[in-house]
Amino acid sequence: LHTIPYDIISDWMNQIVKDHPDLVTRVEYGKTYEKRTISLLKIGLNTEAKKKAIWMDCGIHAREWIAPAFCQYFVNQILQSYKTDAKMQEMMKNVDFYVTPVLNIDGYIYTWKDNTTRLWRKNRSLGPSPDCYGTDLNRNFDANWGTVGVSFNCSSNIFCGTNATSEPEAQAVTYFVGTRKDDFLCFLTIHSYGQLLLLPYGHPNYTASNYEELMKVGQDAAEAIKKVHGQNYRVGTSPDVLYPNSGSSRDWARMQGIPFSYTFELRDNGTFGFQLPEDQIQPACEEAYSGALHIITYAHNQIYSGAVAVTAVTLWTLLLAAGVTLM
């Protein structure tokens, strides 16, 4: 596996749609500051029933190149396992996966320019003072915006913007997810690095109402990750395991009522940091996939339990055997 520039990722998205027309569509849902189209892959079976949804975005921070690679890996894996795996077939029937491979497209393209821009983090909007570029999109969401772990200096890497949701990329996610918030079971936002599963909230004064469950599901996901290549992931709120912050998309999603909202910080622990060597892309994706799948499966099963489905079939069989006529 390699990390690849945005044009190739965009071509790859079109190819996935072509290869799986029954399952995948590409949905455009916003524009970046530099007027590039933000799009996602919607993956699931078309059914008559109202479906639940899973959100995943990658590349909200430009330099975290393993994240877009993971979104592509994730899409390839769920489409591959759909062919043979009964559980994935069940999930594709019940939920739609909304996967954005690169959210901060302007920033991502900027990091591909040359060595001096490789470690750019923010988007590319012009700040309030001249020659001052970029807002940290993961400090710009309307979740205790501008309170902790941010800067109001536009040259800072954690500049939170001039207002909550001032940035077009944050607006796109806010609108798309916000208008369907009751459908979403999971909100997974993928970053690097640090090998962490972060749960809401970033502000130390607030605790998620389902904190215990988020911890338990996160710890089980970390265990699933460890089984793949032995890597340790730490689990907790941002203030507990990393640092306090505000305005993250993860916190915003939880405040919208989406129950299972997590930030993934993928490999590594700092040896290579944002410049993860190519031979680690595959194992990093494999282990993170296992963790993400655990969370998604858990969330799915909360709504669609296998036991209920079996009971319905049994009842149906009994009714038929009894010769009941259904109107």
Of 101, 143, 140, the closest CA to residue 254 belongs to 143
Of 203, 202, 227, 204, the closest CA to residue 289 belongs to 227
Indicate the residue among 122 and 191 with the shorter CB distance to Zn ion: 191
Indicate the residue among 94 and 104 with the shorter CB distance to Zn ion: 104
Indicate the residue among 119 and 312 with the shorter CB distance to Zn ion: 119
What whole-number distance in Å separates Cα of residue 257 and Cα of residue 178? 10
Q: CB of residue 209 vs Zn ion: minimum separation in angstroms?
A: 26
Q: CB of residue 304 vs Zn ion: minimum separation in angstroms?
A: 32
Contact 63, 118 (CB under 8 A): yes
Q: Which two tokens stand for residue 242?
A: 């990393």
**Options 64, 167, 169, 265, the catalytic residue:** 265
Q: What is the DSSP letter of 239?
A: H
Q: CB of residue 85 vs Zn ion: minimum separation in angstroms?
A: 31
The C-alpha R_g of the chain, in whole angstroms, comes to: 20
Indicate the residue among 45 and 242 with the shorter CB distance to Zn ion: 242
Alpha helices by DSSP H, listed for 180-278, are 211-229, 238-241, 249-255
Which stretches of the chain bind Zn ion, using CB under 5 A?
61, 191
What whole-number distance in Å separates Cα of residue 50 and Cα of residue 151? 42
Catalytic residue check, 48: no
142 CB neighbour count, 10 Å cutoff: 16
Q: CB of residue 22 vs Zn ion: minimum separation in angstroms?
A: 34
Q: Which residues are catalytic?
A: 265
